[in-house]
Amino acid sequence: MLQSTEASSRSVGIELRDIVKRFGSVAAVDGVSLDVRPGEFLALLGPSGSGKTTILMAIAGFEYPDAGSILVGGEDVTWVPPNKRNLGMVFQKYTLFPHMSVLENIAFPLKMRGVGRAEREDRARAALATVRLDAYGDRKPSQLSGGQQQRVAIARAIVYKPRVLLMDEPLSALDKNLREEMQIETKHLQREIGVTVVFVTHDQTEALTMADRVAVLDQGKLQQVGSPQDLYETPRTPFVAGFIGETNFCAGTVRDAGASGGPVTVVLDGGALVAATAVDPVAAGGRVRLAVRPERLAVVAADGAALTARVNEAIYAGNATTLILEGPNGLPFRVRLPAGSQHAAPALGDQVGLRWSAEDARAFGDAP
């Protein structure tokens, strides 16, 4: 059995220092620096083509960076070949050997490392128990479901007690229910054995569900690293605000500015005067883009409201109703009303007021 104390005392951190990787004229990874803490579950999150797999391949040693260095457990492994790094890998396709039994599949990396037959079998059985497939050792991979095969792939990746487990979209081939189940299960397993995990996904819900911290990438650049709550509550770039959860964006001009991180007042294009919190340094007269979450918008009476909008659509989804509204200059807004709120949803065509607290509107200094 893999003992958690043993594994966690062995778990190591990873440091990426200013990694650059180009393919021709494309900078797949463009100056990424990142610390993964020992025993941490870190998700690399970003849209397709943002450089996630390239970063993982550089950590694994299958790609060498053009610039920068990679440390695992404090040791510079930038030029160390993959088989000398002692890292486990799980990919989207389970890549189990079809002609081998489940147990033989799991024991295979030990065989490659010259471990004797009896010990191989013991350790493979222990790994199989860790992923709760004790009874399936003699089956062929084709006799298992997709989720079971993925668990075997994980067992095979942890059987030699790697210092780090690297996972590249390992659940994306599974259907929704199984996938959600495996998200929780994989997270529990990681806690149990205490191994450091870097998990690549393009699915924000998956990243928020599984990870201690999430590193958000766009076009090869690191946008922000933080806990799921940090990213949702205090996005540092418009990209993060838009990529994690839902956000209303609207542009305007600063009227009164304080310090960065402080309150500002903004005249939205269309004339409404609203309050916000500056993320970037902004000055009076400067252009800003505001980001406000749909659940942080309050619907109030139109009379006396600075910002008014017309209700164009109400989408009922059981636990909440989403209103789609049209503000000044056709500016779209989405408002989320939780089920059971005391106020009835306004009727279609109603003109209503919209209000938010200054701390719920983040002002970015990048508006056109």
Ligand X SMILES: Nc1ncnc2c1ncn2[C@@H]1O[C@H](COP(=O)(O)OP(=O)(O)O)[C@@H](O)[C@H]1O
Q: Which residues bind Mg ion (CB under 5 A)?
A: 53
Within residues 16-45, the interface with ligand X by CB under 6 A covers 23, 26, 28
Q: Which is nearer to ligand X, 48 or 177 (CB)?
A: 48
The option from Mg ion, ligand X, none interacting with 26 (CB < 5 to 8 A, set by class) reads ligand X
CA distance linking residue 95 with residue 121, whole number of Å: 20
48 interacts with, out of ligand X, Mg ion, none, CB within 5 to 8 A per kind: ligand X
34: number of Cβ within 10 Å: 19
Q: Whose Cβ is closer to ligand X: residue 206's or residue 360's?
A: 206
Site for ligand X in 54-83 (CB under 6 A): 54
Residue 168, SS3 per DSSP? strand
Nearest CA among 106, 86, 112, 84 for reference residue 94 = 106
β-pair partners for 248: 292
Residue 54 or 130: the one with the smaller Cβ distance to ligand X is: 54
How far, in Å, CA of 229 to CA of 336, rounded? Answer: 19
CB of 5 to ligand X, least distance (A): 34
Angle, helix 146-158 to helix 176-193, in steps of 10 degrees:
20
Q: How far is the CB of 202 from ligand X (least distance, A)?
A: 7
Which among Mg ion, ligand X, none contacts residue 179 (Cβ within 5 to 8 A by kind)? none
What's the min distance (Å) between Cβ of 264 and Mg ion? 38
| 97 interface partner picked from Mg ion, ligand X, none, CB below 5 to 8 A per type | none
Q: Quote the least distance from Cβ 169 to ligand X, whole Å.
A: 8
Which position among 5, 25, 48, 177 is part of the footprint of ligand X (CB under 6 A)?
A: 48
Tell me how long the chain is: 368
Nearer to ligand X (CB atom), residue 225 or residue 354: 225
CB of 34 to ligand X, least distance (A): 14
| Residue appearing with tokens 């191994």 | 195
Determine contact, residues 297/355, Cβ cutoff 8 Å: yes
CA atoms within a 13 Å half-sphere pointing along the CA-CB vector of 69: 6
Tell me how far apart the alpha carbons of residues 218 and 204 are, in angstroms, rounded to a whole number: 13
Bridge partners (DSSP) of residue 97 are none
Shortest spacing between CB 168 and Mg ion, in angstroms: 6
**How far from each other are the two terminal CA atoms of the chain, in whole angstroms?**
58
* 196 contact choice in ligand X, Mg ion, none (CB below 5 to 8 Å, kind-dependent): none
Q: Which amino acid is at 177?
A: N
Q: 13 or 49, CB closer to ligand X? A: 49
Q: Note the residues at the interface with ligand X (CB under 6 A).
A: 23, 26, 28, 46, 48-54
